[in-house]
Amino acid sequence: MRFLSTFISVIFLFIVGCKQLNTPNVSSHSTSNQNQAVNISKKDSKCCVVILVGLPGSGKGTHSEYLCKKLGFTYFSMGEALRQEIASGSELGKKVKPIYNAGKLVPDEAADQIMQKFFSTMSSNKLLFDGFPRMVPQAKLLHSSLKKIFVDMNIKVLLLDISEDIAKERVVERFFCKECKAIYTEKTMPFKNFRCKRCGSIEFIKRTDDNAAIFAERVKVYKNETLPVLDFYKELGISYHVIDTSLSVEEVSKKIEKIILKN
Ligand code: AMP
């Protein structure tokens, strides 16, 4: 009897152990504060870092979602993290709300705070950054923070290319499902009691900064502050890849995937 219970305990512990080994430590398209904290042993690891750069409306969010699901990247979007802070009513959220609503970049201290929060819980060595870094000082900070953790970094910088007119049209017209953040326009949600095709929700939201006037400000910031980030990486020997996003979502995703998987 005693032998039998010991035997059952050993089998149980073995099964639990196997399950833990099989649990992936990357979250699919999770935002910064949804990641689980598991320390990556310092100075002994490789990482793959993808940085998506592009005008508002260029499809950074859409393609991030695909890449996280398909290739298991852990996602960080500064804009999404800021929206969560604003929605939570935190002190930080209150401070950044007017700046966010004006389409300007939030101050360094706020961006640093959010980035540090992400790094303190980050458990993956496949990282996808959407809308971050958005200026050279942020790129420097990100690079030095990654260097403290990873020895070998494979960094891919992708510029999602789109005309300003198309980007503006997309941004001004888009709505998001409140639950799953699927994107719609008035054309794609044509009737009143429309349900989200992905999750069935009937609630949709419009971002406070998705209007023509603020779009113009965001473009100005993009040209003045964000495009120089490409030169920063070029100086480090990391050339950026230009992706034409006028193609279908599937075609663009395939192109991006090919670049990421190529060593
Ligand atoms: P996004 O969701 O990427 O379109 O960003 C929306 C807004 O969040 C931007 O217009 C800025 O106000 C703010 N934001 C996003 N990323 C950054 C960043 N890296 N640094 C400062 N502010 C940012």
* Average pLDDT score over the chain: 86
- Higher pLDDT among residues 94 and 250, named by residue: 94
Label the pairing between strands 204-205 and 183-184: unpaired
160 pocket-lining for ligand 1 (C-beta < 6 Å) = no
Whether the CB of 106 sits within 6 Å of ligand 1: yes
86: CA distance to ligand 1 center in Å?
12
Q: Is 131 in the pocket of ligand 1 (CB under 6 A)?
A: yes
**Residues, the chain:** 263
Q: What is the pLDDT of residues 235-256, one digit of tens each?
A: 999 999 999 998 898 999 999 9
- Among protein residues, the one with the nearest Cα to ligand 1's atom 15 is 79
Which residue, judged by its Cα, is nearest atom 20 of ligand 1?
Answer: 105
Give the distance (Å) from ligand 1 centre to CA of residue 15: 45
Specify the pLDDT at position 245: 93
Is 80 exceeded by the pLDDT of residue 26?
A: no
Q: Is the CB of 82 under 6 A from ligand 1?
A: yes
- The predicted-structure confidence for 46-66, as pLDDT tens digits, reads as follows 899 999 999 999 999 999 998
Percent of the chain exceeding pLDDT 70 equals: 83
What CATH code is assigned to 27-162+212-261? 3.40.50.300
Atom of ligand 1 nearest to the CA of 78: 16
Could you report the per-residue pLDDT of 123-180, keeping only the tens digit for each? Answer: 899 999 999 999 999 999 999 999 988 999 999 999 999 999 999 999 999 999 999 9
pLDDT 10s digits, 176-203? 999 999 999 888 877 788 999 999 999 9
Query: Which residue ranges make up each domain of the chain?
Result: 27-162+212-261, 175-209
Distance of CA 260 to the CA centre of its chain: 15
Q: Is residue 100 in contact with ligand 1, taking CB distance under 6 Å? A: yes
Q: From ligand 1's centre to the CA of 175, what distance in Å?
A: 18
